[in-house]
């Protein structure tokens, strides 16, 4: 396929990089974006993030007329339009549910009515897993670790078995049972399920990509809830010490937005309908403290003393990083951007 592709929310952080990737591969790209700031001012989708070849339609994904118009002549859809802060989803409950759930409902209804055999790729999130997968020394698997049941406590950060044997974090595969801990996670899970159910009924091929900790240029710097690297960057630029929750040894999977854009394109191009859920991460893990160290090295900042809070942020998980075996085997996905290179690019953009 090398036709015309619609990206909802395509003027934002991930969507605009995806638009670049698709143009580079010969697609025609149309973007539907409300351009409405999400949180604190100007860090919404921006027309300036888009190549001049992209056709931009300003409109809300909850507006059926705008969506119907945007679908005309397209052969595939990436659904990226969403509210993305985990923290504020817990007090802007109506706004998140409206944008993420109703937005997906309107898009699906329009796709069902428009018929055709457009493929739909939904941007989902690792947030639906809650804590990642753990094993004990015998190899037994634990998919239900949570702070709520006391396995993780203040000052005792690592999850323990009932007999206090430490549990070992391992890569989280797609089959891990979801554990939804925020309205954001719930809305991402709903997006996946709704797309799969409606897609199945109307023969719309659907793939949902569970994105891990995506970082890179164009990420909102003023959103206090999204992206620890963006938060570190804005604190460092303003002369404030970065703040580290817990002990900083919590592990995450930081994946470059360029690798994510490639993963999205591969999901569009793959010719299979069996597996519909894929993790998109870097396949590696790194602690938050190491992230800060690497970032300071790249920025040539020495003697930065972070403020280590020793407490955990409400709703935070301890460890989660991606098992990307399925994406590798089925999509042909292979992350290419080394973390330090991605950090350098981010630093040059700041």
Residue ranges in contact with ligand UD2 by CB under 6 A: 84, 86, 125-127, 182, 185, 213, 226-228, 231, 243-245, 250, 252, 288, 313, 316-317
d(CA 166, CA 267): 37
Using the minimum distance from each CB to ligand UD2, give the nearer residue, 3 or 310: 310
| CB nearer to ligand UD2: pick between 58 and 243 | 243
Cα 210 from Cα 227, distance rounded (Å): 16
For residue 243, the minimal CB distance to ligand UD2 (Å) is 5
Nearer to ligand UD2 among residue 125 and residue 279 (C-beta)? 125
Contact present, 169 and 133 (Cβ < 8 Å): yes
Closest separation between CB of residue 290 and ligand UD2, Å? Answer: 11
Q: For ligand UD2, give the closer residue by CB, 60 or 253.
A: 253
Residues contacting 121, CB < 8 A, separation 6+: 76, 77, 78, 79, 206, 207, 208, 209, 264, 267, 268
What Å distances lie between residue 63 and 101, 104, 109, CA to CA?
13, 11, 11
Rounded CA separation 315/181 (Å): 6
Q: How far is the CB of 152 from ligand UD2 (least distance, A)?
A: 12
Least distance to ligand UD2 from the beta carbon of 227, Å?
4
Closest separation in Å from C-beta 116 to ligand UD2: 31
Beta carbon of residue 202, minimum distance to ligand UD2 (angstroms, whole number) = 28
Q: Residue 30 or residue 147: which is nearer to ligand UD2 going by CB?
A: 147
Q: Identify whether the C-beta of residue 270 lies closer than 8 Å to the C-beta of residue 327.
A: no
Three-class DSSP category at 135: strand
* Residue 48 CB neighbour total at 10 angstroms: 8
Nearer Cβ to ligand UD2 (29/324): 324
């Amino acid at each position: 396929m090398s036709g015309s592709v619609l990206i909802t929310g395509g003027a934002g952080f991930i969507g605009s990089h995806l638009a670049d990737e698709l143009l580079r591969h010969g697609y025609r790209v149309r973007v539907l974006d409300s351009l409405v700031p999400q949180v604190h001012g100007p860090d919404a989708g921006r027309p300036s993030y888009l190549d001049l070849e992209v056709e931009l339609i300003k409109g809300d994904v909850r507006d059926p007329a705008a969506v119907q118009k945007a679908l005309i002549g397209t052969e595939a859809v990436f659904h990226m339009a969403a509210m993305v802060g985990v923290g504020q989803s817990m007090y802007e409950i109506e706004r998140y549910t409206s944008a993420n759930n109703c937005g997906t409902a309107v898009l699906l209804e329009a796709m069902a009515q428009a018929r055709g055999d457009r493929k739909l790729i939904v941007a989902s999130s690792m947030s639906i897993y809650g804590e990642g997968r753990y094993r004990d020394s015998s190899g037994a698997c634990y998919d239900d670790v949570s702070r709520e049941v006391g396995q993780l406590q203040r000052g005792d950060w690592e999850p323990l078995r009932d007999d206090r044997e430490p549990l070992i974090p391992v890569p989280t595969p797609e089959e891990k049972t979801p554990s939804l801990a925020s309205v954001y996670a719930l809305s991402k899970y709903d997006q996946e399920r709704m797309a799969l159910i409606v897609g199945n009924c109307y023969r719309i091929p659907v793939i949902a990509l569970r994105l891990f900790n995506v970082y890179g240029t164009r990420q909102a710097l003023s959103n206090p809830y999204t992206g620890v690297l963006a938060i570190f960057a804005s604190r460092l630029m303003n002369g404030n010490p970065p703040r580290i929750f817990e002990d900083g040894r919590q592990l995450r999977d930081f994946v470059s937005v360029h690798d994510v854009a490639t993963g999205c394109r591969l999901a569009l191009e793959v010719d299979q309908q069996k597996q519909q859920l894929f993790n998109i991460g870097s396949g590696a893990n790194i602690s938050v403290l190491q992230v800060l160290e690497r970032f300071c090295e790249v920025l040539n900042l020495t003697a930065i003393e972070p403020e280590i809070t020793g407490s955990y942020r409400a709703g935070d998980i301890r460890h989660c990083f991606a098992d990307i075996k399925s994406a590798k085997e089925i999509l042909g996905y292979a992350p290419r951007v080394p973390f330090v290179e991605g950090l350098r690019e981010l630093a040059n953009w700041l």
